[in-house]
Structure 1
Amino acid sequence: MSILFTVGYEGTDIDRFVRTLKAAGVQQLADVRAVAVSRKPGFSKKKLSQRLAEEGIEYFHFVALGDPKPGREAARAGKFDLFRSIYGDHIETDAAQDALQDLKDTVSTAATCLLCFERDPETCHRTIVAREVTDQLGFNIFNLFADDPERYVRHAAKLPRFHPSESVTAA
C-alpha cells in the first residue's frame, strides 16, 4: 500500500524541516495552508518553494484546501469540535472539492507530504484533507514530526515508502 505523509512546521526550523522531508523520501510538498505566509523564517510560500526546489522537492499550494479564518480561530481557542465542523463545511464547497481532486491527482504521481503549521496532526485540518485523499486512493497516512529529523535518518529502512503502482490512478 502507498503512503501520504503529513507534517507541521510548528516547533522546527527550515533546515530540520527539509532534512525530515528528505529522510522520509518526500518528492512533493502539498501546502494546504489558506495563507502561505509565516513569521518563521523560510516557511512563507516563496522562500519555502525556492528552498524545496534547491533540494529537489516540488512545491504545490492548494489554497482552497486551507482552513478558513473562523476554523483557525476555533482551533487556536481549543474548540476542536467547532473547528472540525467549520472545516467539514468548507471542504464540501465546490472550490475545495476541485482542489481536492487536483491534490489526489498530484498525490498519485510521487511521494507527497501535506504541509500545515500545527505540529499535532490531530488538531490540524491537514488530517481531514489526508483522510479524504487516502480514503479514495487506498493510501495510508504517515505523520512526520519535523523537530527531530535524525529519528527518520536512524530508522530510514523502517519508513513506509510511496509505491506508484499501487495507487488507484496507476491501476
Structure 2
Amino acid sequence: MLNTIGYEKASPQNFLGTLQKANIEILIDIRDRAQSRRPGFSKTALSENLKNGGIAYLHFKSLGDPKDGRDAARSGDFATFRKIYRAVLKTDEAKSAIEEISVLAASKRICLMCYERDFTTCHRKLVSDILETKLGSKVRHLGVQSFEPIFESKRRVCYSSEGAAA
C-alpha cells in the first residue's frame, strides 16, 4: 500500500511517530525545495530525525511543485495549479522518478511527503493517483495527529478546488 502524508501543523515528534505506527520504511519527499520554515522539516534535520527513527529519506525534486504552481494554488487558482503540475508530470525526469518510486513500492512501505495536511489540495494527490493506477494498490493518506488515515482511496480520481499547494 502506498501512503502519503503532509507535515502542516505537525511537530517532528508526532510526524515521526505517525510514520513509525504505519511501519513506513522510506519517506519520499516530493517538495520542489526540501526546505521549510517549520523547525525539523528541512532536508538535513528531517533526514536525521527519520534516520534516528529507523526510516530512510529520499528527495525527488523532479516531482516538486514549481514556484508558479505554488503561487497559483496560494491565490486560489487551482485550474492553473493543476495545469502547471500536470506539465511537470510529463517531463522525462518526473516519469523516471515515478518509475523509481514504483520499484521501491514493490518491496518497501513508502510514504510520499509534502506540506499540506489535506492531500486533496496538494500535488502529492496527483502523484499518488498515477502510482495508484500503476501499482494497482490503494493509497492511504495519513493524518499526523492519529494513525487513522484522513482518506483511503477507492481507486477513483477526484480533485478538490480548495486549499494550497507546496
Question: Residue 14 of structure 2 corresponds to which residue in structure 1?
Answer: 16
Question: Residue 52 of structure 1 corresponds to which residue in structure 2?
Answer: 50
Question: Residue 116 of structure 2 corresponds to which residue in structure 1?
Answer: 118
Question: Residue 81 of structure 1 corresponds to which residue in structure 2?
Answer: 79
Equivalent position amino acid for 1:89 in 2: A
Aligned length: 150
Cα offsets for 1:10-58 (capped at 9, x unmatched): 1111011011111111111010001000011110011111110111101
TM-score (norm 2): 0.86
Cα offsets for 1:130-162 (capped at 9, x unmatched): 11111111110111111x13xx2xx69xxx9xx
Question: Residue 137 of structure 1 corresponds to which residue in structure 2?
Answer: 135
Deviates more, 1:95-104 or 1:31-40: 95-104
Which stretches in structure 2 are left out of the alignment for 5+ residues?
A: 153-166
- Aligned-partner SS, 1:97: helix
Equivalent of 2:104 in 93, 106, 129: 106
What RMSD in Å do the two structures reach over aligned CA positions? 1.5
TM-score (norm 1): 0.84
- Contact persistence 1:29–1:113 (CA under 8 A): yes
- Contact persistence 1:62–1:103 (CA under 8 A): no
Question: Residue 33 of structure 1 corresponds to which residue in structure 2?
Answer: 31
- Aligned-partner SS, 2:107: coil
Cα offsets for 1:94-145 (capped at 9, x unmatched): 1111111111112222111100001110010001111111111111011111
- After TM superposition, where is structure 1 displaced by more than 3 Å over at least 4 residues in a row? none
- For the pair shown, the structure with the greater C-alpha radius of gyration is 1
- Contact persistence 1:7–1:114 (CA under 8 A): yes
Do residues 68 (structure 1) and 66 (structure 2) align?
yes
Which stretches in structure 1 are left out of the alignment for 5+ residues?
A: 161-171
Equivalent position amino acid for 2:12 in 1: I
